[in-house]
Chains A and B, each alone.
Chain A
Amino acid sequence: MAREVRKRFGSVDALAGLDVEIRAGEIYGLLGPNGSGKTTFIRCVAGLVRADSGDITVLGRRPRETAAAGRVGYMTQAAALYGDLSVEENLDFFARLEGVHDIDDRIDEVLRTIDLADRKRSIVNTLSGGMRTRVSLAAALLHAPDLLLLDEPTVGVDPVLRREFWAHFRALASRGTTILVSSHVMDEASRCDRLGLILAGRVLAEGTAAELMRRAGTTDLESAFLALAAGGPAVEPSEASPT
């Protein structure tokens, strides 16, 4: 899916030869500290940023083509909504951009999913941060995308809701939706089918949570991440990556 992707912003190498292959219908977690290149990679996949070099294919096409076809759902890190519009008006707007049919039914459906059906007519600015995050997720789900890009989707979300989110992600994946999710929360990362540990714009290691812990010789993911990040050449991406 992504091969040798490089992107520089000024003197900063945001992506320094990143290789990732995400399989259809899996939940792939990008795990890494702030500034490791997670968001830049997600923006590349969403067609918002052109990589300086390398090759990215999303669902068999170039990223922007896939997004233009309405097959990608993108949930940004901070909720990107119109604060002066109601929840329903926001969702209606995004649904029309994505070319959704039966807009009203779909809005009711996603609002039930995020458990905000009773706040349909609330103005977004009056909602709590967690509620806005949920509406932002709803906007990304409206058109039932084949690929869902979630940039740190559970930041500021309480543990109960976080569990519900993940249950929902799992349900979507089981119906064939591919999910690329970034996080720096280890607990959450363990829920992904596979993980890519990212540091300084490169994939350090890739595999299931269990594989990564075994390889690092640790019993929890956080220690595994720290060990692998410090380990350097012991774990080459090529060794870990099945591509």
Chain B
Amino acid sequence: MSLRRIAAVAERIALGFRRDRRSLGLLIVAPLVVLSLVGAVWGSTTDVVPTVAIATDRIGLPPTFSGRLVDALIDATEIKAHRSTFDQGVQELKDGTSDAVFWIDGVTLHLEIEGSDPLRSGGIGQAVQKALVGALTRSGLTNSGLGVAAPSVQIEQLYGGADYTLLDYLAPVLVAFFAFFFIFLLSAVSFLRERTSGTLERLMATPLARAELVIGYLAGFSFFALVQAIVIILFTVFVLRVQYRGNLATIFLVEAVMVVGAVSLGLLVSAAARNELQAVQFVPIVLLPQVFLSGLLIPVSQLPDYLRPFSAILPLTYANEALKAVMIKGFELGDPLVLRDVGILVAFGLVMAVGAVASIRREIA
């Protein structure tokens, strides 16, 4: 094992990057653009105010109560309510001019919603509930023997909080995903180029050992991956103002060990591809399962049982878990959960690196 040769390989990669400004731009700018977009989409706390048609012909309350309640609902800020009949309201739903129709039948409050978009539907129910609680209180109907209780539940959160936006919760997993995605792709394509351009064959006729080549690659790419990780983390924390509790250094360390695994996986995958197009086609195979199974979109604990084993072999699962623990819960590196995840990521990196060495098929004569 020669440090001089390893350093030569790492430096060669750095030199190539220096000349290939586009790849460097892709590595640094692309995640920031996407994160800004995500920040703009998910980072705001402004709730959409649903338009609700109150079917006054179906409010099964005595007229005085009914009128007070409807007035109070129309005054509510949580929803945009207007008087309507049931049939008219349903037609409005179909036309897309209203989001929900509200009526009361006995002691049951009914809300018919449009329902074609589950994300929007959830918000409507909540908004109407809030509006109703306020309206009942304001109209003095709460204790009127109406049978409509307006219990007030004050929710306190151990982690996160009311001022946390969706982006605050998603930032840890997004940071891990971007780092993994870009560096995996770049290292796979770069090593593939080494194979197809004949330089790999040329290198293997020098004293350079396969392990030295892989370590050199890991060093070269990890350097840029870590620069990327620093930029992404600083951007999310200081520009997107994502709230975090943990130590920035710990966040960075988790990223670092994950990135080594991503580079190794890239080298390994390049062995299975014959050209750059094929290498890019590996992105859905390698990355999409991690999007769905690593806890990025759906918590691992909510996955069907038969999918959990798959989730358990994906590196992003552990990176996500560790980063969430550090960024949202404020765990330190010494915490058993974080230590375990970092250990698994290190082991993943090692296994992939050994696989990458084996994939360089030099049959030693």
Q: Could you list which residues of chain A lie within 8 angstroms of chain B, going by C-beta atoms?
A: 43-44, 46-51, 56, 62-64, 67-70, 72, 74, 76, 78-85, 89, 93-94, 96-99, 123, 139, 149
Contacts and interface: CB of A to CB of B under 8 A. Distances in A.
Contacts of A94: 206
Among A69, A78, A82, the most chain B Cβ lie within 10 Å of the Cβ of A82
Nearest to B4: A96
5 cross-chain pairs, A with B, having the tightest CB-CB distances, nearest first: A80-B202, A50-B363, A96-B8, A80-B198, A74-B205
Interface residues of B, number: 27
A48 B207 CA distance: 12
Given A80-B198, A81-B199, A98-B207, A47 B365 contact: yes
Given A48-B205, A80-B202, A99-B2, 4 more contacts: A48-B201, A62-B365, A64-B365, A98-B206
A67 B207 contact: yes
B133 interface: no
Contacts of B4: 96, 99
B364 A47 contact: yes
B203 to A, nearest CB: 7
A149 B11 CA distance: 27
Interface string B7-36: 110011001100110000000000000000
Given A48-B362, A123-B19, A80 B204 contact: no
Given A93-B8, A99-B4, A70 B206 contact: yes
B5 A50 contact: no
Contacts of B198: 76, 78-80
Contacts of B365: 44, 47-51, 56, 62-64
Nearest to A58: B365
A176 B199 CA distance: 28
A80 B199 CA distance: 5
Among A46, A47, A81, A97, the most chain B Cβ lie within 10 Å of the Cβ of A97
B64 interface: no
6 contacts: A47-B364, A63-B365, A67-B205, A70-B206, A70-B207, A89-B15
B197 interface: yes
Interface in B203-218: 203-209
B11 to A, nearest CB: 8
B12 A76 contact: no
Contact of A82 (B5, B12, B364): B12
Contacts of B20: 84
Contacts of A67: 205-207
A64 B364 contact: yes
B363 A49 contact: yes
A84 B19 contact: yes
A50 B12 contact: no
A26 B20 CA distance: 43
B317 to A, nearest CB: 36
B200 to A, nearest CB: 8
Given A44-B365, A48-B362, A78-B198, A97 B16 contact: no
A1 B198 CA distance: 26
A15 to B, nearest CB: 12
A97 B201 contact: no
A82 B363 contact: no
